[in-house]
Chain A
Amino acid sequence: MSLYKWNINPRIPNEFVGLSNYVKLFHDDKFYTALINTLKYVIVTVPGQMIIGLLIAVLLTRGLKGQTFFRLLYYLPVITSWVVVSVLFQYLFATRGGLVNYLLKDLLHLINRDIRWLAQENTAMIPIYVLGIWKGIGWSMLIFLAGLQGIPKQLYEAARIDGANGWMLLRKITIPMLRPVIAFQTVMLTIGGFNVFLSVYVITGGGPRNSTQVLSSYMFKEAFDYFHFGYGAAIAVIFFLIVFTIAQIQRKLFKREIY
């Protein structure tokens, strides 16, 4: 399809245009914006989810009461539909009467004017990052919890006897022992991050002025708003190649840990 000027009317034959969709793509500024936004989203949200997820998992394995309860609550955002939480975040980040502005301005006095989160090009991605991290923490936490259970307790006891403190335990035992889990999560979350779609589609619709467009939302817009099916398919092909390449590179880097 990506080699054709695909016609929306099935009765009109599709015109073969060779690589011209791809040529157009490589000269399309909006495509580069979408690509950079997607990369930024991955770079911000993948470590964000994993660091917080790991911290919570470590806190939850200290044998305190009520762990199941906390785990249940932290996992709640993961199971809630993207459409619902996206609409919710749009409300939380509303300019007037939004909870975030109220918290920052009236409660904490960190800012003196309401921030127009979703209307400015340089702030519109922030709610999308926050949502991505908030929704993914629970999953990361649960995988880390499973990983932490596999670390023999004797290791910690031995290190304690040698005088190691909590921070050293985390750095010298927990994190090295969790390397396979970290590798697995990095690959999975990166692929997931590249596929970010509904949060952008619902919260900003790619705007203002395409500043929050990501690869998937741009593809959707070209294909289903403008009916440029051939061009949309070309975006999809390049998109796939990028994700595939990055996943392969990560796999190579982590090879030692996974197998």
Chain B
Amino acid sequence: MKKKIMDLIIYTLLFIGAIIMCFPFYYMVVTSLKESAYIFTVPPQMIPKPATFENYKTVWVEADFKLYFLNSLKITLPAVLLNVFLSSLTAYGFARFKFPGKELWFSVLIATLAVPGLLLIIPQFDMIRKVPFFMDNPLTIVLTSGIGGIAFNAFFLRGFFESIPRELEEAAELDGCGIFKTYWHIAMPLARPALATLVIMSFLGVWDDYFWPSLILRDKRDWTLPIGILGFRAQHGVQWHLLFAGTIIAILPVLIIYFMFQKYFVKAVAEGGLKI
């Protein structure tokens, strides 16, 4: 009996907590379904009446969110592929090969993690803007995001590669596989769970990045979703119903990936202590 009451109290607490954590999202969805006349009513409507999808249509077509969405996609997909490919190559190299100063190089790589990326942005920007080709070019973001975070990813992946039994790779080599083939056909498939985690992390990082792309992509036609959201807010002020339709479009892919791959998320955070 006493345990039952305890359980009930805990459930109540957990529910209250869940409501606090999720209500802002619910309210964002509700607002995005409201007509403009209803966004500042007191008391605020908790269920939109009348509910309308018109806002989504408006931002998608008239406010260029379709363009921003495609731009985000065009940058994120190649950047993530490049990022995972380069990170795994780096990690594999450190996991499987002996070369002079290996551990020293690895600690130098890890040391770069101590410098917050935000602080390097001024010199980085100054270098990029001296080459006109790189300014206003989405390719720049693909490349910089593709390279970004390799140090951490390599640190994360190295352990996985080292845990693969060496015999498998030796057998492949005996069968005539070169180094690259062994890496591609043996090591990569075996590291799949870790790679899935990496893909998700990398995706979130590139998809949500605002600061750096906003400095490089000044032309409205190149804007990604985060830039588009703040650009829309700057231009149209507090048209929250439209703005939130836009933000929901922006977080939808992230939510879908999150719910599909949530077990990888939990693993990544719990084991690697990743901040994502």
- The stretch of B18-26, B85-93, B160-168, B169-177 that contacts the partner chain: B18-26
Determine if B207 and A81 form an interchain contact, defined as CB atoms under 8 angstroms apart.
yes
What's the nearest-Cβ distance from chain A to residue B2, in Å? Answer: 12
Complex CA–CA separation, A197 to B208 (angstroms): 14
Determine if B270 and A81 form an interchain contact, defined as CB atoms under 8 angstroms apart.
no
Main secondary structure on B side of the interface with A: helix
Determine if B27 and A197 form an interchain contact, defined as CB atoms under 8 angstroms apart.
no
CB contact list, B251-276 vs A, under 8 A: 251, 254-255, 258-259, 262, 265-266, 269-271, 273, 275-276
Complex CA–CA separation, A102 to B42 (angstroms): 7
CB contact list, B1-55 vs A, under 8 A: 7, 10-11, 13-14, 17-18, 20-22, 24-25, 27-28, 31, 39-44
* Contact of A240 (CB < 8 Å), options: B22, B115, B121, B130: B115
Whether, in the assembled complex, A239 has its beta carbon less than 8 Å from a beta carbon of chain B, the answer is yes
What's the nearest-Cβ distance from chain B to residue A181, in Å? Answer: 9
Complex CA–CA separation, A10 to B129 (angstroms): 9
Chain A interfacial residues counted at CB < 8 A = 66
> Per-residue 0/1 for B195-212: is the Cβ within 8 Å of any A Cβ (1 yes, 0 no)?
000000000100110110
Determine if B207 and A59 form an interchain contact, defined as CB atoms under 8 angstroms apart.
no
Which B residues are in CB contact (< 8 Å) with A71? 266
With contact pairs A83-B226, A146-B270, A236-B122 given, residues A59 and B43 touching in the complex (Cβ less than 8 Å) = no
Which B residues are in CB contact (< 8 Å) with A202? 230
What's the nearest-Cβ distance from chain B to residue A23, in Å? Answer: 19
Size category of the binding interface on chain B: 35 or more
Whether, in the assembled complex, B155 has its beta carbon less than 8 Å from a beta carbon of chain A, the answer is no
> Per-residue 0/1 for B207-220: is the Cβ within 8 Å of any A Cβ (1 yes, 0 no)?
11011000100000
CB contact list, A152-203 vs B, under 8 A: 184, 188, 191-192, 194-195, 197-198, 202
What's the nearest-Cβ distance from chain B to residue A61, in Å? Answer: 11
Determine if B24 and A89 form an interchain contact, defined as CB atoms under 8 angstroms apart.
yes
Determine if A88 and B208 form an interchain contact, defined as CB atoms under 8 angstroms apart.
no
Whether, in the assembled complex, B250 has its beta carbon less than 8 Å from a beta carbon of chain A, the answer is yes
Whether, in the assembled complex, B229 has its beta carbon less than 8 Å from a beta carbon of chain A, the answer is yes
> Per-residue 0/1 for B116-146: is the Cβ within 8 Å of any A Cβ (1 yes, 0 no)?
1011111101100110000000000000000
Determine if B269 and A139 form an interchain contact, defined as CB atoms under 8 angstroms apart.
yes
Determine if B116 and A82 form an interchain contact, defined as CB atoms under 8 angstroms apart.
no
29 A-B pairs within 8 Å (CB atoms) are namely: A10-B129, A59-B13, A72-B262, A73-B18, A73-B21, A74-B17, A76-B25, A77-B21, A81-B208, A84-B229, A84-B250, A84-B251, A88-B27, A96-B40, A96-B42, A97-B40, A97-B42, A134-B24, A137-B21, A142-B266, A146-B271, A195-B116, A198-B211, A219-B122, A223-B121, A239-B119, A240-B116, A240-B119, A247-B114
Query: Which residues of A are at the interface with B, using a C-beta cutoff of 8 A?
Result: 1, 6, 10, 56, 59-60, 62, 64, 70-85, 87-89, 91-92, 94, 96-97, 99, 102, 106, 134, 137-139, 142-143, 145-146, 184, 188, 191-192, 194-195, 197-198, 202, 216, 219-220, 223-224, 229, 232-233, 236, 239-240, 243-244, 247
Given contacts A76-B22, A83-B247, could you give 6 more A-B pairs where the C-beta distance is less than 8 Å? A77-B24, A79-B258, A85-B24, A216-B118, A236-B119, A240-B115
